[in-house]
Homo-oligomer: A and B are copies of this chain.
């Protein structure tokens, strides 16, 4: 069986096998530089989320521009990133299964490992697993700042949990995880500000209560691509966890910035697709379907033509409305995925390009690492 490598270095992008993810290297590097400069200017650390790209090559570029480490969302994703060179990884999620806790502890022998906890029962399990291999794990208490997903209640419940962590032998209380996911996607900046301001208030109260108990938050973490400019000026959050800024999907392109304009990042990830059937005027069928991009946040947007629309996805096909019949059989075009994170997770390779030439092939090393 072939490794199904979609391209060769030096090839023109129109020659790569389709469907295939292309990364515009210059746009990617500008996105990295823009957020790095912002974090530097606002004296906050940047720990970008690797769940968006799952690529050690991209992680290395983020670290080279000043990121202090990475976020991952699962243990296996963290393993893949450490295997790819990462030395400081936060699993920004709860780890509950005994087999996974043991793997997390083993990983803490190879790199600095941090993890989130929102239930006291996890504390003893994590401590025992770390002790069993003589590792140390840094732990953030995840608080629910309004997202209604994971996280213990802010305030006293969070303080009690932090105390339990601090009292263990092989865990260290390192601070708070206070991320508001749904706020990232509110279209209007003022609405995001109002929601994040509430999150900041809850977090600040918890940090102050912890301080009274002698529990210092080295890390107060959260913020995504939609809200990082708000947390960054809170004088409270000190680590930003943006992920999607690296690629910018069609959904985030609809999120307005502080001035009502676009967020300060460019599309750098494209799904290259090809017309495989052209039997009727005004329509075409391409090879980009549900198995090469995720439609959970809306359909992809055609990047190369203003007047062509992607109107429907089946498993291996995409329907295109092409009223002026630009497209002929075999033609390629680029789509901006509706949602980058689950789209990247469908691919084994990122094809890095510059000036329409293939520059490098980057493995999506943490593809499928959902455990």
Q: Name A residues whose Cβ lies closer than 8 Å to a Cβ of B.
A: 1-2, 4, 6, 15, 17-20, 51, 73-74, 76, 79-80, 83-84, 93-97, 99-100, 103, 118-119, 121-122, 144, 148-153, 181, 274-280, 283, 285, 287, 289-292, 294-296, 313-317, 319, 329-330, 339, 341-342, 345-348, 365, 367-371
* Min C-beta distance of A323 to chain B, whole Å: 16
Min C-beta distance of A179 to chain B, whole Å: 11
Asked if A2 and B290 make an inter-chain contact with CB atoms under 8 angstroms apart, the answer reads: no
**Which B-chain residue is minimally distant from A119 (CB atoms)?**
B329
In the complex, are the beta carbons of B371 and A4 less than 8 A apart? yes
Instruction: Give the chain B neighbours of A1 by CB distance below 8 A.
Output: 79-80, 83-84, 365
Contact A329 B279 (CB under 8 A): no
Interface of A (DSSP majority class): loop
User: Which of A15, A79, A276 gathers the greatest number of chain B CB atoms within 10 Å?
Assistant: A276
Q: List 14 A-B contacts (CB under 8 A).
A: A17-B97, A18-B371, A94-B276, A97-B274, A97-B330, A144-B279, A150-B285, A290-B294, A290-B339, A290-B342, A292-B370, A315-B341, A315-B342, A347-B368
Specify which chain B residues have a CB less than 8 angstroms from the CB of A152 in the assembled complex: 279
Bound CA span A204–B329, Å: 28
Q: Is the CB of B279 within 8 A of A153?
A: yes
Are B18 and A118 in contact, CB atoms less than 8 angstroms apart? no
Contacting pair A316 B73 (CB below 8 A): yes
Q: Which residues of B contact A118 (CB under 8 A)?
A: 277, 279
Known: A1-B83, A150-B279. A73 touches B315 (CB 8 A): yes
Q: Report yes or no: B17 in contact with A342, Cβ–Cβ below 8 A.
A: no
Interchain CB contact under 8 A, A314 and B274: no
| Contact in complex: A277, B348 (CB < 8 Å) | no
Q: Which of B18, B119, B316 contacts A93 (CB 8 A)?
A: B316
B279 touches A151 (CB 8 A): yes
Query: CB-nearest residue of chain B relative to A348?
Result: B368
Closest beta carbon of chain B to A140's beta carbon, Å: 14
Q: Which of B4, B181, B296 lies in contact with A368, CB distance below 8 A?
A: B4
With beta carbons under 8 angstroms apart, the residue of B181, B277, B347 that contacts A151 is B277
Q: Is the CB of B275 within 8 A of A96?
A: yes
Residue of B whose beta carbon sits closest to that of A365: B1
Residues of B within 8 A of A153 (CB): 279
Across the A-B interface, give the 8 residue pairs with the lowest CB-CB distance, nearest first. A150-B277, A1-B83, A290-B342, A94-B276, A73-B316, A291-B370, A17-B371, A292-B370
